[in-house]
Amino acid sequence: GDSVTQMEGPVTLSEEAFLTINCTYTATGYPSLFWYVQYPGEGLQLLLKATKADDKGSNKGFEATYRKETTSFHLEKGSVQVSDSAVYFCALSARQTGANNLFFGTGTRLTVIP
């Protein structure tokens, strides 16, 4: 079945460090891939998405490239800030019986220290 495997956390980085959170997926067909972010006490916010192979999603300095050959969608940011501290979820959308449902990874908690 469809699934997402996400790098386990927690991850602690110093401000301005480089961030990579690994995400790989298993899916039939042609899924879309997403990164969602959840700040403390809040809901899920879409961070970026890619809908086909070799697409790059980017937002707020974060990037991820849809790699079909390695079935990956790793999240990267060149210089993290304290305000980036949150839980990051990789997700895929694949059509099932009727609608497209999101399958989430287990989430990676990022803490950025000054």
CB of 37 to other proteins, least distance (A): 11
Please identify, using beta-carbon distances, which residue of 79 and 101 lies nearer to other proteins: 101
Please identify, using beta-carbon distances, which residue of 7 and 44 lies nearer to other proteins: 44
Structure-block tokens of residue 17: 């460090």
CB of 31 to other proteins, least distance (A): 7
Q: For binding to other proteins (CB under 8 A), which residues are involved?
A: 29-32, 34, 36, 42-46, 49, 51, 89, 93-107
The set of long-range contacts for 24-27, using a CB threshold of 8 Å and a minimum separation of 24, is 24/70, 24/71, 24/72, 24/73, 25/71, 25/72, 25/73, 25/90, 25/92, 26/1, 26/2, 26/71, 27/2, 27/3, 27/71, 27/92, 27/94
Please identify, using beta-carbon distances, which residue of 49 and 77 lies nearer to other proteins: 49
Please identify, using beta-carbon distances, which residue of 67 and 95 lies nearer to other proteins: 95
CB of 23 to other proteins, least distance (A): 12
CB of 6 to other proteins, least distance (A): 8
Q: Distance between CA 50 and CA 66 in Å, rounded?
A: 6
